[in-house]
A and B are shown apart, each in its own frame.
Chain A
């Protein structure tokens, strides 16, 4: 085995190990943390008739809103094919199964689709004049332990690569950490939590860390100090010696953007107003996004309850608000240049 291959194997091994840790943490986080939580879960076992009947009523009332015609409750039976998207509140649908991370999972067809309108961010500099994505289709499910959000929007072509003038597609889910937090990323004393996914990070996980040779296939360089192996010196495999990473300044500074050993396609953040976005090092959110047939679909899954005070806490019956934002890489969206929704009411089915 050549040195390079050996190092690559070593690094691949550690990546899997790190991936395992993260998944382990997620699984741990999803388990009830206290006897009180365990009791609550036992009191509301999934699949009760009660829940089913409420779900039918919810579907009925949604259909009624959509068609404008009153429908007698209970006339429509629950179906695994969701209705056409409706506007209004989001029902976090109760399922008996696991909450799937895969956006293509058939489980998602059990959850109603809510269409959420997006508006251009035109309150803080820099702004965008026009939204290139005008709505997202949102679904949410829970099994009492985990909650999943599936956000989908049309995009004729995915944008994953990033350089000085190329931007990637991204989506965020925002939840208030205090009542009356502004939907515009909260305000001082009124924090919000944000779950953020980027197509770039998804590609890092699905394929490999975006490297210079992916951006510029014909480029050449003579050397990188202390890198191992041969040109083009893949990141991170060729940068195993600690001193070889000293030129990755943001990485050395602990900047989460610069994590060349990336193991997650999403990050958790908090914010108290524009420009205050803050990365949360302890993340229990996992996400997976996939682009198929002109549409991005991204799923965020996290435990209902956590011990982190900077996490929104879900419980069966929770009724609160959520907001969404989409960045269209093709339109050079990044940072404040995005489209976002206002607060949308959601309710977690018991």
Chain B
């Protein structure tokens, strides 16, 4: 079986196909610290792409609460039960990925969700890591935590769905790395549903074919961000392209945040697929849990996030300010004075965000009208 490099786990993996990386790779950064689980992203996606009959349980985008939530139910812990705990030596993965666990005569290690697994999308929502004891509410913080994890297809570097399909009906596009199920060719074997570690391929019971997050490819082809990104009211998301041919670019916001500053980390890199949604880890959550979910580098990322106001991190802060700043994909960014500026793929300026927003102080007494202002109505 050919070997493919995987920079996230710092070692090659066994993969059924040999293929060069795409020309550029669609990628996303989600700042977990800013997500409030309003599910606007979920609805934006669902309304646009999966509101048909047979797609009732299909959520290309979902937001779940960690540690207890997950859609489909316990999608990650069920897989990890079979894989065993991830073992890292520094930033290199020692344990086996999903491609290696079951040997070359088997498809990637996976599991098959039943309809019960799709029946409780809100189970575990807002649940804390532990019960609040009497007295915990007194004091600045209590020891328990939870956070919201927004999830879409990871358009992986080495997709398990592509590896698992016995008739090559799933493919990764060379122009942007988006992974798609060929809707003409799919015969509904559901091998991709079984193999995808992130469970972002779904079986359509009416169309009798498997369907997955399409990365909003009709929009990406026009240089526009995905609907889940545009719809995000908290501006927690950035969507663009990672450099795959050559060194990461200082002026590309995704390259800069992911590869150069390593503020955003992949989701379960130990699975080995090379996922392309990167998360700024939540700073209030203990390292142990975060390392299981985001791999090594959590502590450094949290520390970096806490020191974004330091002068040496001004460029990083600029990149973060451009989250949700435009419906256009930002390919290049820079700092100009007190502003972060973003340009789209055509070189057109599409965002200019001040580091410090203008503020206006109104006097309590309005001289023109001779009245005092009140903030009550």
Contact = CB atoms under 8 A, between A and B. Distances in A.
A164 B113 contact: yes
Contact of B190 (A227, A253, A334): A334
Contact of A332 (B51, B112, B202, B208): B112
B106 A247 contact: no
Contacts of B107: 125-126
Given A126-B107, A255-B209, A224 B112 contact: no
B112 A164 contact: yes
Interface residues of B, number: 39
A249 B211 contact: yes
A79 to B, nearest CB: 43
A23 interface: no
B60 to A, nearest CB: 12
Given A212-B54, A257-B209, A335-B166, A250 B115 contact: no
A165 interface: yes
Contacts of A126: 106-107, 164, 166, 191
A235 B206 contact: yes
Contact of B183 (A221, A233, A253): A253
B205 A225 contact: no
A162 B187 contact: no
Contacts of A239: 53
A227 B206 CA distance: 14
B22 to A, nearest CB: 23
A215 interface: yes
B294 to A, nearest CB: 28
Contacts of B209: 249-250, 255, 257-258
Contacts of B193: 164
B108 to A, nearest CB: 10
Interface string A130-164: 00000000000000000000000000000000111
Contact of A260 (B188, B191, B206): B206
Nearest to A257: B208
Contacts of A254: 184
Interface stretch (A68-76, A269-277, A289-297, A314-322): A269-277
A215 to B, nearest CB: 6
Contacts of B106: 125-127
A295 to B, nearest CB: 26
B114 A235 contact: no
B297 to A, nearest CB: 34
Contact of A164 (B52, B164, B190): B190
Interface string B115-145: 1001000000000000000000000000000
B105 A257 contact: no
Contacts of B374: none
B203 A164 contact: yes
B206 A248 contact: yes
B52 A248 contact: yes
Contact of B208 (A125, A162, A253, A274): A162
Interface in B213-249: none
A244 to B, nearest CB: 9
Interface residues of A, number: 43
A163 to B, nearest CB: 5
Contacts of B112: 164-165, 332
Interface in B166-218: 166-168, 183-191, 193, 202-209, 211
A332 to B, nearest CB: 7
A347 interface: no
Interface string B74-115: 000000000000000000000000000000011100001111
Contacts, number: 127
B118 to A, nearest CB: 7
A17 interface: no
Interface in B49-63: 50-57
B107 to A, nearest CB: 5
Nearest to A337: B189
A89 interface: no
Q: Which of A211, A246, A258 has the most CB of B within 10 A?
A: A258
Contact of A258 (B118, B166, B202, B208): B208
A165 B207 contact: no
A247 B166 CA distance: 26
B54 A334 contact: no
A210 interface: yes
B205 A255 contact: no
A94 B208 CA distance: 39
Interface in A205-252: 210-212, 215-216, 219, 221, 224-225, 227, 233, 235, 239, 246-252
Contacts of A233: 53
B208 A235 contact: no
Interface in A260-309: 260, 274-277
B201 to A, nearest CB: 10
Contact of A255 (B105, B115, B184): B184
A255 B169 CA distance: 12
Contacts of B55: 247
A124 interface: yes
A336 interface: yes
Q: Which of A210, A235, A251, A255 has the most CB of B within 10 A?
A: A255
A254 to B, nearest CB: 6
B183 A255 contact: yes
B194 to A, nearest CB: 9
A160 to B, nearest CB: 13
Contacts of A216: 56, 115
B1 to A, nearest CB: 11
Contacts of A164: 57, 112-115, 118, 190, 193, 202-203, 205
A195 to B, nearest CB: 16
Nearest to B47: A225
B137 to A, nearest CB: 39
A210 B183 CA distance: 20
22 contacts: A125-B105, A125-B106, A125-B166, A163-B115, A163-B203, A164-B113, A165-B112, A165-B190, A211-B206, A216-B115, A224-B52, A225-B51, A225-B52, A233-B53, A235-B54, A247-B50, A248-B206, A257-B209, A260-B206, A275-B166, A335-B167, A336-B166
Interface of A: 124-127, 162-165, 200, 210-212, 215-216, 219, 221, 224-225, 227, 233, 235, 239, 246-255, 257-258, 260, 274-277, 332, 334-336
Question: Closest 4 interchain pairs by CB?
Answer: A247-B52, A335-B189, A250-B209, A250-B207
